Structure 1
Amino acid sequence: MNTDLSLTLSEAGAGRPVLLLHGGGGPATVAGLAERLSGSAHTLTPVHPGWDGTHRPAWLTGIDDLALAYLQHLHDHGLHDVLVVGSSLGGWIAAEMAVRDTAGTITGLVLIDAVGVHVETEPIADVFALDARGLAEHSWHDPDRYHVDPATLPAGELARRQGNMATMRTLAGDPYMHDPRLLDRLGGVQVPTLLLWGESDRVVTPAYGAAYAAAFGDARLELVPRAGHLPQIEQPEATYRLVEAHLHRTSATPPVATG
Structure 2
Amino acid sequence: MKHHFLHIGDVELEWHEMGEGAPVLYLHGGHGFFPDDDAFATQLAKTRRVIVPSHPGFGRSSLPEWLDCVTDIAHVHLALLDYLELDQVDVVGSSIGGWIAAEMGTMAPDRFGRIVLAAPVGIKVGPVDRLDVPDIFAMSQEQVARIYYHDDGKFRFDPSAHSDETLATILRNRETLTLLTWEPYMHNPKLRHRLRRLRAPTLVLRGSSDGFVSADYADAFARLISNASVETIEAAGHYLAEERPDIFAARVDAFLAQTRTKKILWRNVG
1:156 Cα deviation from its structure 2 partner = 4.3
**Identical columns (%):** 35
Alpha carbons 1:210, 1:221 under 8 Å: kept:
yes
Whole-Å separation in 2 of the counterparts to 1:40 and 1:88? 23
Alpha carbons 2:213, 2:238 under 8 Å: kept:
yes
Whole-Å separation in 2 of the counterparts to 1:250 and 1:176? 35
Whole-Å separation in 1 of the counterparts to 2:57 and 2:190? 25
Within the candidate set 131, 139, 152, 2:140 is matched to: 131
Residue 3 (1) aligns with residue 9 (2): yes
1:253 Cα deviation from its structure 2 partner = 4.4
Alpha carbons 1:196, 1:224 under 8 Å: kept:
yes
Task: Look up the match of 1:75.
Answer: 82
1:152 Cα deviation from its structure 2 partner = 7.4
Task: Look up the match of 2:150.
Answer: 141
Whole-Å separation in 1 of the counterparts to 2:152 and 2:166? 20
1:159 Cα deviation from its structure 2 partner = 3.1
> Matched residue of 1:52: which SS?
coil
Whole-Å separation in 2 of the counterparts to 1:127 and 1:7? 27
Within the candidate set 193, 207, 212, 2:202 is matched to: 193
Question: Unaligned regions of 5+ residues in structure 2, if any?
Answer: 1-7, 266-270
1:186 Cα deviation from its structure 2 partner = 1.1
Whole-Å separation in 2 of the counterparts to 1:27 and 1:253? 31
> Matched residue of 2:113: which SS?
strand
Whole-Å separation in 1 of the counterparts to 2:87 and 2:46? 19
Report the number of matched residues. Answer: 253
1:162 Cα deviation from its structure 2 partner = 2.1
- 2:10 maps to amino acid: D
Task: Look up the match of 1:54.
Answer: 61
- 2:27 maps to amino acid: L
Whole-Å separation in 2 of the counterparts to 1:60 and 1:100? 17
Within the candidate set 193, 201, 205, 2:214 is matched to: 205
1:76 Cα deviation from its structure 2 partner = 2.8
The alpha-carbon distance between structure 1 residues 95 and 78, as it changes in their structure 2 partners (threshold 3 A), is: same
Cα RMSD of the aligned pairs, angstroms, is 2.1
The alpha-carbon distance between structure 1 residues 118 and 155, as it changes in their structure 2 partners (threshold 3 A), is: same
Within the candidate set 27, 34, 42, 2:33 is matched to: 27
1:238 Cα deviation from its structure 2 partner = 1.7
Alpha carbons 1:132, 1:149 under 8 Å: kept:
no
- 2:53 maps to amino acid: P
Task: Look up the match of 2:52.
Answer: 45
> Matched residue of 1:18: which SS?
strand
- 1:233 maps to amino acid: E
Whole-Å separation in 1 of the counterparts to 2:204 and 2:143? 25
Kindly report which structure 2 residues correspond to 1:213-252, keeping only aligned pairs within 5 A, or say none: 213-251=222-260
1:106 Cα deviation from its structure 2 partner = 0.9
1:180 Cα deviation from its structure 2 partner = 0.7
Alpha carbons 1:53, 1:163 under 8 Å: kept:
no
Whole-Å separation in 1 of the counterparts to 2:235 and 2:53? 28
TM-score by length of 2: 0.87
1:237 Cα deviation from its structure 2 partner = 2.2
1:150 Cα deviation from its structure 2 partner = 5.3
> Matched residue of 1:6: which SS?
strand
> Matched residue of 1:55: which SS?
coil
